[in-house]
Every structure is written in structure tokens, then in C-alpha cells.
Amino acid sequence: MTPVAAKPAAGSPQARMEIPGSMYPAGAPSFGFLQETRTISPSAGQTQPEPAGIEPNVPHELNLSSYSFDAKALKRDFPILRERVNGRPLVWLDNAATTQKPQSVIDRLKYFYEHENSNVHRAAHELAARATDAYESAREKVRRFLNASSAREIIFVRGATEGINLVAQSWGRRNIQKDDEIVITWLEHHANIVPWQMLCAEKGAKLRVAPVDSTGQILLDEYEKLLGPKTRLVALPQVSNALGVVPPAVEMIEAAHRHGAKVLLDGAQSVSHMRVDVQSLDCDFFVFSGHKVFAPTGIGVVYGKPEVLEHMPPWQGGGNMIQDVTFEKTVYQAPPQRFEAGTGNIADAVGLGAAIDYLDRAGMANISRHEHGLLVYATEQLQQIPGLKIIGTAKEKAGVVSFILDGFRNEEIGDYLNRNGIAVRSGHHCAQPILRRFGLESTVRASLALYNTGEDIEALVTAIWNLRLGRTSIA
């Protein structure tokens, strides 16, 4: 691809232009998934207000990637981004920890509690019907968002962590035996390590770990050497939360399936950055958290192939997940209800549906291109700061710049940025093994979302330059 010209200094008028996602310098992080597009086809009869950053009167059946995308206008859809922190406008660059919520999601939650609040599925009254329709409509929106083949493949849970534990406790306890092997990678969040360690300890199985190279990318040859007749499960991230590295998931899934293993793909850090198609990926399980994709906390999703879910026992018992109960035995519901014991997080599932509506209207192809431009810009500008080292320099990256700065503790950097109104994460990011692979205990992590702008990057870079040069007084 043709390299772009060197970027102007942060803060200059020329630097305030968005960088086209199709143009980036040699060696810069790339988004291989940008070649994909997504057709938006919301449910018939639904009407939602247009996000401010999308041209009005755009037909919903068209692919939105060809329409203008205005992150500054989209930012106005998020009330919290009008906050001031320490007297300065909030710059939210902690999106890998949680994303902010658009007004449409906030309004949808309010509407649910004002007009629909009820338990679902069983009651004969009007509010129960409304709540059930809203809840199951959200399930269908998730199905479409992931391109699952049926809403019966979509299980609501509290988040990706609970989703992984569900798979470990239900599928894992039934299928993992002594001396079997589970393969994970060095890139994992603790949530995709600890449940498998617990299962291996219980069953006498072995946990094997695929290494990464000096850029943070999976070493495919070494990964394939770990696979064999004892491999029962491979669990890997679609995007690393600590480094932003995008592993070659399709190749890794294909290799695992050649050895008869099932695959769980952790999508907590991917769903807000790229189009996800579970049928194309061919993963057996896919998990994500709503709060990482502009939805409320406390709601998440497990996708599972129907032939796999059908043979999994429930992992919790209670109401909703039963067909019949006597004192002698219980007959369980079919998936997904089999795995949704008790009263679910109904309102926040509806909020997740509203967040998916918002993303559909913005267009995932638009979002990916926009964030890619920001990632390239941030990488270029930060690399010009003496003593700053970016951790995770693989070609395929999404939405995260993780770095250290010689002479400064990471907590010190985070505190200084906070005093400038800039929110980043300083710490181990619940991913200690991958940071220790690089000889570190923590990094500073700036992570992107659709509402971030070139000005946000400039604010980050300017503040770090000031810290580097000793200009630490806050006006």
C-alpha cells in the first residue's frame, strides 16, 4: 500500500484531519478485516433515531460504509463525554476497560422501566408480553450482529467472564478428562486462563500455551505443534485486550478442528472494533460483554453451535431453565433457556439490543476504518516521543496502544494524564502473563472507540510530550 506523508505536529491545523483507513505507512498496524463490509437490515417496523454522525435519510438496507462518518458528531450522542475532569474536557481513552453509552441506550433502559418492566416468558398479562418481546428481540439482534444461524444459539449471561465459566463448567466438565489438553495463548485475559486452570486442576488435564513473537503475534508454527490427539479445546482472543494484537483466528480455528478440538473465541475486545461472523469464523463458542460494546454492564453473550449446546448439561439450576420438576427428576429446557436459570438481566439485555442498533446504524466498516486511522496516527505520534516504547507492534492490531515511558512509572503517567482530563488505564490489564513475556508488570494503555477523534489523540500526545519535557504544571 502507498505510504502516507509524514504527519504534522500534534495540535497543528493539518494534524486535525482524520486519516483515511486505506492509507498508512509501511510497518504500521493494519486491519485485515477492513476488506469486509456488512449489510444492515434491521427488523421490519423498527424505527430508531439516527446517530448524529450519520447522514440523514440513508436507506437502512444499504451498506453504510460508503456514507460519511463523523466521529465528532457521534460524540454528541454520548452524554458523559460532555463531562469535564479537573477542569478539562473528558478524553475517554479507556474503552478496552468499558465503553460509554449513547443516549439511545440510556433512553431505551428508561423506557423499559417506565413501560415494560416485568418478568418474561410465563405471565399472561400485558407487561409480561411487552418485556418478553423486548428481551427476545434483543436476542435476535445479537444473532444478527454475530451472524449466528438461529436465536437458539444465543445465551444471555452477565459478561464474557461468566460466559467462559459457563463453557468450562458445562461443556468442560463433561468432555475434559484426565491427561486431556486445553490450549490457550500468551495473549489471554485472566478470564480466559483461570477457568481452564481450575478445570485442569479438577480433571487432571493439562493447560498448554501458544507463544508469541517479539511483536506480540502468535507463532503459528509453535501453536500447531501444541495440537494433537489429546487436544480437546482451544481458547483464544479475537483481539488482545492488553496489546490490541489481532491473532490469525481463522487459521487457528481451522488447525484446531483438524485435530478434533472445539474452539472458544473470546470476543470481548473485538465486537466494538470489527464485524464478527461466527459462521465464517467457524468457532464452536464465542463470548462477549455488553459493556465493551456501548451497552450496560452486567449483560453478555455466549454463542454456541447448536450441535454442541444440545449435548451440554445446565450449569445452574432454578426457574426458567426447566420443562418439568418433580422430587424424583427434572426435565430441562432446550438451549438457550437451559443455560439461563432464574430471572435474567432483562433490562440490560434490551439495552444491549439498543447498542447493537446504534452500531448497525453507524456501520461496522465505518467504525473499523475510522479507528484504524486513529490507531495509525497515535502510533506515529507516540513513537516520536523520546524514551516511549510501544508494547505490541504486530502488523494486525485493533484499537489499543500500550506503552511505557523511560524514567516514569506507569501510575505516574496515568495520574498526570488524568489531571489533564485524559482517561487511560495504567496497570496489568488483567493480562499479567503477556506483559511478563515482555519483562513488564504494567503498561499505560490508550484504547479507542468510534467516538474518539484526532483531537483526542493530539491531547494524549501533547500531554505526554509535556510530561517528557518536564512541563507538568496544569493551567
Q: Which residues are catalytic?
A: 430
CA distance 78 to 100: 7
Yes or no: say if 154 and 206 are a contact pair by the CB < 8 Å rule. no
Would you state the torsion angle of the CA atoms of residues 42, 48, 50, 55, taken in this order, to the nearest 10 degrees?
40
Locate 336 and state its grid cell: 438457550
The single residue listed with the C-alpha cell 429446557 is 333
Yes or no: say if 102 and 54 are a contact pair by the CB < 8 Å rule. no
Q: What is the DSSP letter of 338?
A: G
CA distance 191 to 431: 9
CA distance 166 to 97: 22
Nearest alpha carbon to residue 75 among 92, 60, 88, 59: 92
Using left for φ > 0, alpha for ψ between -120 and 50, and beta otherwise, residue 409 falls in beta
CA distance 58 to 67: 8
Which amino acid is present at 164? I
Yes or no: say if 303 and 271 are a contact pair by the CB < 8 Å rule. no
CA distance 180 to 204: 8
CA distance 297 to 293: 10
Nearest alpha carbon to residue 102 among 70, 80, 71, 72: 80
Adjacent-strand bridge partners of 389:
404
Distances (CA, A) of 205 to 29, 115, 162, 249, 266: 37, 50, 21, 24, 21
Yes or no: say if 151 and 166 are a contact pair by the CB < 8 Å rule. no
- Read off φ and ψ for residue 261, nearest 5 degrees: -90, 150
Yes or no: say if 298 and 348 are a contact pair by the CB < 8 Å rule. yes
CA distance 260 to 233: 9
CA distance 269 to 391: 17
